[in-house]
Amino acid sequence: MGAVVRLRTVGRVVIRRVILLAVIVLALGTTLPATLAQPVEAADRALEIEMRAFRFVPDFLRVTVGDTVTLSVTNKDSVGHNLFIPELGIRIGNATAPIGPGNRSSATFRADRIGEFWFYCEVPGHATRLNGGYSGMAGRLVVEQEAVQPPDSTMIFILLSFAVSAAAFATVVGVGLYLRRRWRL
């Protein structure tokens, strides 16, 4: 009988330790990803835009706040154009001295504000202001919140594997204790 009591005590200790381990793994599993996630550093971005057929190609650009952006425009149209982003104070060419057909120009700036910014051609008749935006030769630049790189999940998988192994061991011990009690060994 003393052996059975000792075995029950050992079984309870094992089960308590497995429960404690499961709580630790769950706590780490919910906090580790947030802890390990690292912000993506600002980058140098080179964006190319073609001006052709009275439109910008592409007409939608996306960068991350903090990026240093070099915006290059090439005029592949038969008339002069420019690119103006009023909210950011960026102007490549202008209405009176546009970028001529076959020419290329660029500007470099730091994307220091989050938001959606319209760019358009200032040459009269090329873009029209409509309801807070533009139609015609216009596009949008979106400056997004800094991206976060997902954490390496190797450690999480190792901890979860360990927890599953511990749970399997506890199950075997529990079944063994049950069978010993049942068969009065």
Tell me, yes or no, if the pTM score tops 0.75: no
Sketch the domain layout of the chain as residue ranges.
2-37+152-183, 44-149
Q: What is the pLDDT of residues 81-129, one digit of tens each?
A: 999 999 999 999 999 999 999 999 999 999 999 999 999 999 999 999 9
The two tokens of residue 150 are: 């997902």
Is the CATH number of domain 44-149 1.20.210.10? no
Q: What does the alpha-carbon distance between residue 146 and residue 141 come to, in Å, rounded to a whole number?
A: 15
- Rounded to the nearest 10 degrees, the angle between the axes of helix 154-183 and helix 2-36 is 160
Q: What does the alpha-carbon distance between residue 88 and residue 83 come to, in Å, rounded to a whole number?
A: 12
Mention every residue, 6+ apart, whose C-beta is less than 8 A from residue 175.
none
Q: Do the Cβ atoms of 174 and 17 come closer than 8 Å?
A: no
